[in-house]
Amino acid sequence: MQRFVFAICSIVVATTTAVRMSAQVYPYRDGTPGLTGYRSEVMAEVMIQESEFVRLAEAIPAEKYTWRPSPEVRTIAEVFLHASAANYNLYKLVGTPTPPGVDTKTLELSTTDKAKVIATLKASYAHAEAAIRAMPDSDLKTLAWNGGRITERGVLLFIVQHIAQHLGQQIAYARSIGVVPPWTLDPPRKD
């Protein structure tokens, strides 16, 4: 079962990343002009991931939030909350501290309540987007990383792919319980 979930996750990540590689400028939530350059590309990915995570969280029935494919892996609620914790923890590496009152060590097991999980996801993505906006393109520093060095640009790339892996995991979970990812039913875009 774990190999199946991993294979599905890998396919989803590779496909969604390849489809979205074009850079766009996304406005801020308040409608003001958005970022350009590398951070705009990261922001585009983060906003798409947020939309898909939230839409999937809304589509999964509340009674399935405690479901897991096998005893040794995270439940549906735990995967959503793990991704939320990552949105807080990983952006600390690029200078945006975790907000007061958010305990990332206990977040993953903090609730199975669907409304609270969705609210936590949304808050973590607002935090991630603020962190990306706060980083000037001209000031992407090099930092220590797992015994080596990485740039803040590399940290952003790591964050995007890490969260994409969990989105793929959640898509496999959803399909296992009969939930179709809502965006797959969207009409084709006319660009």
pLDDT on residue 144: 82
| Nearest of 47, 55, 128 to residue 90 by alpha carbon | 128
Burial class of residue 181, CB neighbours in 10 A (0-12, 13-18, 19+): middle
User: Is the pLDDT assigned to residue 56 strictly greater than 80?
Assistant: yes
Domains detected in the chain: 2-184 (1.20.120.450)
Question: Looking at residues 49-59, what average pLDDT do you find?
Answer: 97
pTM: 0.80
Tokens read off for 21: 């590689």
The DSSP output letter for 110 is S
pLDDT on residue 85: 97
CA 172 to chain centre: 15
Residue 139 pLDDT class (50, 70, 90 cuts): low
Tokens read off for 162: 């890490």
